[in-house]
Structure 1
Amino acid sequence: MSVHEFPAAARAFRTAIEEMTRAALRPEVAWRDIPAPGRMAPHTWAAEGEVLLHDDELASGRIVILHDPAGEESWQGEYRMVALVQAQLEPEFAIESMLGDVAWSWVTESLELNGAQARELGCTATRVVSQSYGALASRPSTVDVEMRVSWTPDTPATGADLGPHFAAWAAMLAAAGGLPPAPAQVAPLVPSHRARARSLTDERNRG
């Protein structure tokens, strides 16, 4: 059951979300809707997801969809997609100076692959390298990447087709998890790099 309740005034938004969630995603991506922040726009919807391959969780994140029927000047449209993508990469990425450029390519290629036309596209990629010393020196080094992405769907005036944008978010998760680009109905078998999703257990262990 959905956690979202749409008021009567949000009929167009509800229809767009219902159609979007029927879109075929990559088979490795599992998602569920979650309570959406209520102050970012008149109408909002949110979901969290993770990339699962052979019972391993490779990446995780969430997406928030904002809608203002009156339009928002800073968005240059009525809809705005706000996405978070997180993964823990192999230690070799600690010295990869181009990781930010690689992360940006995951964004642009995911949008292009899924035919998601976007404008006002922005991304912040953060790399966190954790290395332990002293009594904790036996702990392996870790490299976390976090991508915060936002864009405005370039949708036709006849209605918002958000399906390609939802699929693009799933593709960003898959790319961060090391899976090569693939149409939604095709499941790749071998990741291009080793990754796993960040977890609360990891955060506690770092303390």
Structure 2
Amino acid sequence: MSSNKASSDIGSHFSRVVRALEGVRLRPEVSLTEVPAPGRIAPYSVAMTADVAAGPDEDELASGRFVVLHDPSCPEPWEGAWRIVTFARAQLEPELAADPMLGDVGWTWLTDALDEAEAGYTAEAGTVTRVLSQGYGGLTDNGTTVEMEVRASWTPSDEDLTPHLQAWGAMLCTIAGLPPLPDGVVPLPGQRR
């Protein structure tokens, strides 16, 4: 098989796997937008940003980025040919800044969401960061704000990436402070642009 034919087959396979993500149903508070993907990390990639708001004219509660990478050479740190790289950020209540468990809680929100969605994964890595900002001078009225950032990557156990996007969307809603959906309630499709 020629390398052009092999490359074309891999590209078609990547497109089929990623196309399944278009049918993922997230909560209506989540708005997904496809954006340019990083080009130098892997031969194949796709990226989406998400914003979470309680309603169409409401302020943003959380935002994030979901990136799918595919490298048929299976880079050693990935432990596979696929890698998901994510970012989520939300403003929290100022009193949470001093909570020593905040990082553990943020990481658990992600792993619990993956487990609940039955999204098998390996080689997970990430950080949970709290950003404390205090306004001074002309910004004194801003007071103190606290943001939480969850940066994570993992290798999916198989090529069905839909539960991974569902899990990440659920974690994004959790970090935004939205209450969980009751058991048996299926979210209507989120807004896509």
Taking structure 1 as the reference length, what is the TM-score of the superposition?
Answer: 0.80
Q: What residue ranges of structure 2 are gaps of 5+ in the alignment?
A: 1-6, 189-193
Cα 1:18–1:95 shift into 2, 3 Å: same
Q: Match of 2:51?
A: 50
Within 1, Cα distance between the matches of 2:24 and 2:136? 47
Candidates 87, 90, 93, aligned match of 1:90: 93
Cα distance, 1:81 vs structure 2:
0.2
Candidates 44, 57, 62, aligned match of 1:59: 62
Within 2, Cα distance between the matches of 1:13 and 1:79? 10
Cα distance, 1:139 vs structure 2:
2.2
Q: Match of 1:25?
A: 26
4+ runs of 1 displaced by more than 2 Å? 132-139, 180-184
What's the CA shift string for 1:142-179, capped at 9, x where partnerless?
A: 00111110000001xxxx10000111111121111012
Within 1, Cα distance between the matches of 2:108 and 2:160? 23
Q: Match of 2:163?
A: 164
The number of residue pairs the alignment matches comes to 177
Within 1, Cα distance between the matches of 2:138 and 2:119? 49
What's the CA shift string for 1:49-71, capped at 9, x where partnerless?
A: 01121323210010111001232
Cα distance, 1:92 vs structure 2:
1.3
Cα 1:22–1:186 shift into 2, 3 Å: closer
1:132 aligns with 2:131: no
Within 1, Cα distance between the matches of 2:43 and 2:134? 43
1:175 aligns with 2:174: yes
Cα distance, 1:186 vs structure 2:
4.0
SS of residue matched to 1:12: helix
Q: Percent identity?
A: 45
Cα distance, 1:45 vs structure 2:
0.5
Cα distance, 1:22 vs structure 2:
0.9
Within 2, Cα distance between the matches of 1:28 and 1:140? 28
Q: Match of 1:154?
A: 157
What's the CA shift string for 1:69-107, capped at 9, x where partnerless?
A: 232211011100000001111111122121101101111
Within 2, Cα distance between the matches of 1:64 and 1:24? 17
Q: Match of 1:41?
A: 42
8 A Cα contact 1:36 1:44, kept in partner: yes
Taking structure 2 as the reference length, what is the TM-score of the superposition?
Answer: 0.85
